[in-house]
């Protein structure tokens, strides 16, 4: 357990329970949460950087370099710099290309979605209790010391110091990506050339100190060792701990869901709707608040693994073939892998990872049958299908909720658990699903 001074992330401590019932349900799902916050943010930053293949690990490297520099010149804000580093490009989610594909300031200024990403990132992060200072660092991470950056054209000491650390860590990761042969001493020279232009001389000196550690550089550039570095910062920085409040977790999980859905044009809002439909169906089935909370969270996270499926496959205007089907069918497995690494969410990993199982045993990834499939996964399966059928896709028109329910009815007993389909019908009858759809 990582002790956290309450002053570090005061916002987290000022949030009150949404309701006593929600708080109790939440505590039962996530009983002890010291690592939950850092694991979730780390997972979001990982998912952001999965651009099909390869995994870029850009956010992790920026966070590690910026936090290591903060230990030298901003020791009171290492945690904020670290989390801001992990999330610095979250405002770029949904952009056609990952933000790192625009290496020069000139090429960035030509793209509105690039110019807007710091402010968009600030808005997203501000919504997470406890990350207010991180939001400021993110908003200014493309400001230049000489005033030529964006979006505010701030200069010199007007720029938040944490933002300057992220600025140079970001620049160096880009130059290393485009010139992999770059050595630590080369990066120190590059940084000297931008000292006084892109960053302050003090920040340039902090970078020189950090990069002079050969061991640090080796861990930084080796994909297989990088997570160890991230874990070290996770445990050495003061970690915000969620209060026993479902709203704080829901907020972060909703950001997670939006990052996942933003990877594919046709899936905007999908995970939030699946979560919402699953909650309605499980309430109609009389499940406990604990179970309803689990399915709510699992719904938000169920397609996390889809970030590794290429856009060309998800958005393909026509049926999938051979290797494309294999790639798509792998996504629940990757969902499980991602969620298993998040403290206290391992049970959700199993539930979320089985949302494509079928009642007749013909689903994937494990071919579970009937009640072998967790009930909450069976609920997710129905909610997932309801949203897929009622949303427009690349190659078909969307259907009405009534048509969707008819299709579910036809598939009850083969694809879906008939009890869950009945519950979806009763929710439809009450009008709640109609509003949601
Ligand atoms: Fe950026
Ligand atoms: Fe970046
Ligand atoms: Fe899925
Ligand atoms: Fe889905």
Count Cα atoms within 13 angstroms, Cβ side, for 125: 30
Query: 206 alpha carbon to ligand 1 midpoint, in Å?
Result: 21
CA of 89 to the centre of ligand 2 (A): 5
Burial grade of 339 (CB within 10 A; 0-12, 13-18, 19 or more):
buried
pLDDT (tens, 9 = 90+) of the chain, 437 residues, equals 222 222 222 222 222 223 334 444 555 555 446 577 788 888 888 888 876 556 788 999 999 999 999 999 999 999 999 999 999 999 988 776 677 777 788 888 888 888 999 999 999 888 887 788 899 999 999 999 999 999 999 999 999 999 999 999 999 998 887 777 778 888 888 899 999 999 999 999 999 999 999 999 999 999 889 999 998 998 887 665 555 555 778 888 898 898 888 877 667 889 999 999 999 999 999 999 999 999 999 999 999 998 888 878 877 778 888 888 888 899 999 999 888 888 778 889 999 999 999 999 999 999 999 999 999 999 999 999 999 888 877 556 778 888 888 999 999 999 999 999 999 998 877 766 654 54
Half-sphere exposure of 27 (CA within 13 A, CB side): 9
Structure tokens at 88: 């610095």
Q: Which residue has the tokens 């897929």?
A: 388
**Orientation of helix 375-390 relative to helix 289-301, angle to 10°:** 50
Cα 60 to Cα 63: distance, rounded to the nearest angstrom: 5
> What pLDDT, on the 0 to 100 scale, is given for residue 314?
78
Q: Output the CA 388–ligand 3 centroid distance in Å.
A: 10
Q: Which domain holds residue 275?
A: 246-436
Ligand 1 midpoint to CA 100 (Å): 8
390 part of a folded domain: yes
The reply to whether 129 and 227 lie within a common domain is yes
Q: What CATH number is attached to the domain comprising 116?
A: 1.10.3210.10
Domain boundary among 217, 236, 255: 236
Q: What is the whole-number distance in angstroms between the Cα of residue 269 and the centre of ligand 1? A: 24
pLDDT reported for residue 370: 97
Is 276 inside a domain boundary? Answer: yes
Same domain, 256 and 376: yes
The token duo for 279 is: 């909650």
Q: Write out 113-170 in H/E/C secondary structure.
A: HHHHHHHHHHHHHHCCCCCHHHHHHHHCCCCCCCCCCCCCCCCHHHCCHHHHHHHHHH
Number of H helices, E strands in the chain: 24, 0
Shared domain for 280 and 360, answered yes or no, is yes
Residue 259, judged by CB atoms within 10 A of its CB (0-12, 13-18, 19+), counts as buried
- How far, in Å, CA of 250 to CA of 166, rounded? 27
Note the ligand closest to the C-alpha atom of 271: 4
Total domains, the chain? 2
Say if CB 187 and CB 211 are below 8 A apart: yes
Residue 368 lies in a domain: yes
Among the three residues 236, 254, 287, which one is the final residue of a domain in this structure?
236
> Which ligand has the nearest atom to the CA of 328?
3
Separation of CA 141 and ligand 1 centre (Å) = 7
- Same structural domain, 232 and 378: no
DSSP state of 91: G
CB 173 within 8 A of CB 100: yes
pLDDT of residue 15: 26
Q: Supply the DSSP symbol for 393.
A: B
Question: Which tens digits make up the pLDDT trace of 137-159?
Answer: 999 999 999 999 999 999 999 99
Same-domain check for residues 199 and 311: no
The residue written with tokens 């200072």 in the block is 133
Q: Residue 303 Cα, ligand 4 centroid: separation in angstroms?
A: 5
- Cα 184 to Cα 47, 178, 180, 213, distances in angstroms: 28, 15, 11, 9
Residue 267 CA to ligand 4 center (angstroms) comes to 8
What is the radius of gyration, based on Cα positions, of the chain?
23
Distance CA(122)–CA(140), nearest Å, equals: 9
| Burial of 189 (C-beta count, 10 Å sphere; 0-12/13-18/19+) | exposed
Examine the domain organization and report whether 294 and 431 are in the same domain. Answer: yes
Considering the domain architecture, whether residues 205 and 273 belong to the same structural domain is answered as no
C-alpha of residue 75 to centroid of ligand 3, in Å? 43
Final residue before a domain boundary, out of 176, 207, 236: 236
Q: Is residue 22 part of a domain?
A: no
- Nearest CA to 161 out of 90, 77, 87 is that of 77
For residue 215, the Cα-to-chain-centroid distance in whole angstroms is 29
Enumerate residues 6+ apart whose C-beta is below 8 A from 39: 234, 341, 342, 343, 345
156 and 199 assigned to the same domain: yes
Ligand 4 centroid to Cα of residue 424, in Å, is 17
> In degrees, to the nearest 5, what angle opens at C-alpha 298 toward C-alphas 294 and 300?
125
**How many Å lie between the centroid of ligand 2 and the Cα of residue 59?**
7
Domain co-membership, 70 together with 195? yes
- Residue 25 inside a domain? The answer is no
* CA distance to 87, 103, 123, 250, 344, per residue, from 40 (Å): 11, 28, 18, 11, 10
User: CB count, 10 Å around CB of 203?
Assistant: 26
- Residues 260, 271: contact at Cβ < 8 Å? yes
Distance 132 CA to ligand 1 centre (A): 18
CA pair distance 250, 256, nearest whole angstrom: 10
Q: Is residue 29 part of a domain?
A: no
Give me the pLDDT at residue 52, please: 56
**Inter-residue contact 131 to 151 (CB < 8 Å):** no
Residue 311 is predicted with a pLDDT of 78
* Whether residue 341 sits in one domain with residue 205: no
In a domain, 307, yes or no: yes
Ligand 4 center–CA 77 separation, angstroms: 38
Alpha carbon distance 93, 138 (integer Å): 14
| Tokens (6 digits) for 268 | 């905007």
Residues 355, 264, single domain; the answer is yes
For residue 11, tell me if it sits in a domain.
no
CB 23 within 8 A of CB 245: yes
Tell me how far the alpha carbon of residue 190 lies from the centroid of ligand 2, in angstroms.
17
pLDDT of residue 13: 23
Same domain for 50 and 150, yes or no, is yes
Cα–ligand 2 centroid distance for 103 (angstroms): 10
Identify the pLDDT of residue 216: 93
Of all ligands present, the nearest one to the C-alpha of 261 is 4
């Amino acid at each position: 357990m990582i002790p956290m001074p309450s002053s570090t992330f005061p916002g987290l401590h000022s949030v009150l329970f949404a309701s006593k019932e929600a708080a109790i349900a939440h505590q039962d799902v996530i009983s002890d949460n010291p690592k939950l916050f850092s694991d979730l943010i780390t997972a979001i930053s990982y998912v952001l950087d999965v651009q099909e293949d390869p995994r870029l690990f850009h956010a992790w490297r920026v966070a590690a370099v910026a936090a290591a520099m903060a230990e030298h010149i901003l020791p009171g804000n290492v945690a904020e710099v670290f989390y801001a580093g992990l999330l610095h490009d979250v405002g770029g989610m949904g952009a056609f290309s990952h933000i790192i594909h625009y290496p020069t300031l000139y090429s960035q200024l030509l793209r509105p979605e690039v110019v807007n990403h710091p402010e968009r990132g600030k808005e997203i992060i501000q919504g997470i209790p406890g990350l207010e200072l991180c939001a400021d660092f993110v908003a200014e991470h493309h400001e230049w010391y000489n005033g030529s950056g964006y979006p505010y054209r701030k200069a010199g000491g007007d720029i938040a110091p944490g933002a300057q650390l992220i600025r140079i860590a970001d620049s160096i990761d880009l130059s290393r990506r485009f010139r992999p042969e770059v050595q630590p001493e080369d990066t120190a020279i590059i940084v000297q050339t931008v000292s006084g232009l892109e960053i302050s001389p003090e920040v340039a000196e902090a970078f020189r100190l950090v990069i002079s550690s050969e061991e640090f550089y080796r861990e930084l550039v080796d994909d297989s060792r990088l997570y160890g570095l991230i874990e070290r910062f996770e445990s050495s920085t003061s970690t915000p701990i969620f209060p026993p409040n479902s709203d704080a977790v829901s907020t972060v999980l909703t950001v997670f869901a939006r990052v996942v859905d933003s990877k594919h044009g046709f899936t905007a809002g999908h995970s939030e709707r699946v979560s919402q439909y699953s909650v309605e169906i499980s309430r109609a089935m009389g499940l406990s608040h604990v179970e309803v909370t689990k399915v709510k969270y699992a719904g938000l996270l169920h397609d996390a693994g889809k970030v590794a499926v290429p856009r060309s496959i998800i958005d393909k205007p026509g049926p999938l073939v051979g290797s494309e089907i294999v790639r798509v069918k792998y996504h629940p497995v990757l969902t499980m892998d991602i969620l298993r690494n998040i403290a206290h969410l391992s049970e959700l990993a199993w539930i979320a990872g089985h949302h494509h199982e079928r009642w007749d045993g013909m689903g994937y990834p494990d071919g579970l049958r009937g009640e072998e499939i967790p009930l909450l996964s069976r609920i997710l399966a129905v909610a997932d299908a309801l949203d897929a059928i009622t949303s427009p896709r690349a190659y078909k028109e969307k259907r009405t909720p009534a048509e969707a329910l008819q299709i579910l009815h036809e598939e009850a007993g083969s694809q879906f658990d008939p009890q869950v389909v009945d519950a979806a019908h009763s929710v439809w009858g009450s009008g709640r699903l109609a509003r949601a759809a």
